[in-house]
Amino acid sequence: MYEHHLPIEQDWIQYGDYSYEAGQTIMQYWADLKLSAVVAASDLVAMGIMRQAAQMGIKIPQDLSIVSIDGTFLCEVTDPQLTSVTQDFYQIGVNSVLDLLGNAPSELVPFKLVERGSVAEQPK
């Protein structure tokens, strides 16, 4: 957002515990802010946001776009399916163990954006 000179309000940033319940609680807080998109710190948080949004009559992705971070199978069982920043958890684990054993330096594992149905297309 900084790179695109977009404003960032502190009220938009909420901390939780990566749980489904945290997503529900956060969505209740965000409802009055009239946000158009969110990035959830985990698939479970995104699912909680989706559930609470549905209970509040907020349509995904028409009223609110959601991107999750993880990319687990959960992204494919939601309706609509969750767009995600997908990570290779196996490789993250291997790299972490090698780093702990001193056999390899820490390195970032590649990730990719997997587009699914939880994000609305922007008008051109």
Burial of 31 (0-12, 13-18, 19+ CB in 10 A): middle
Q: Looking at domain 10-114, what is its CATH homologous superfamily?
A: Response regulator (3.40.50.2300)
Residue ranges per domain, the chain?
10-114
Over residues 3-31, the mean pLDDT reads 89
DSSP class of residue 34? T
Res. 124 pLDDT band, cuts 50 70 90? low
pLDDT per position as a tens digit, 71-115: 999 999 999 999 999 988 888 888 888 888 887 777 788 899 999
Res. 2 pLDDT band, cuts 50 70 90? confident
* Dihedral angle, C-alpha 71, 69, 112, 103, nearest 10 °: -90
| Residue from 58, 53, 60, 112 nearest 86 by CA | 112
Taking CA atoms, 92 is separated from 54, 89, 104, 107, in Å, by: 34, 5, 13, 9
pTM for the whole structure: 0.84
Residue 87 in contact with residue 111, Cβ under 8 Å?
yes
What average pLDDT does the chain have? 90
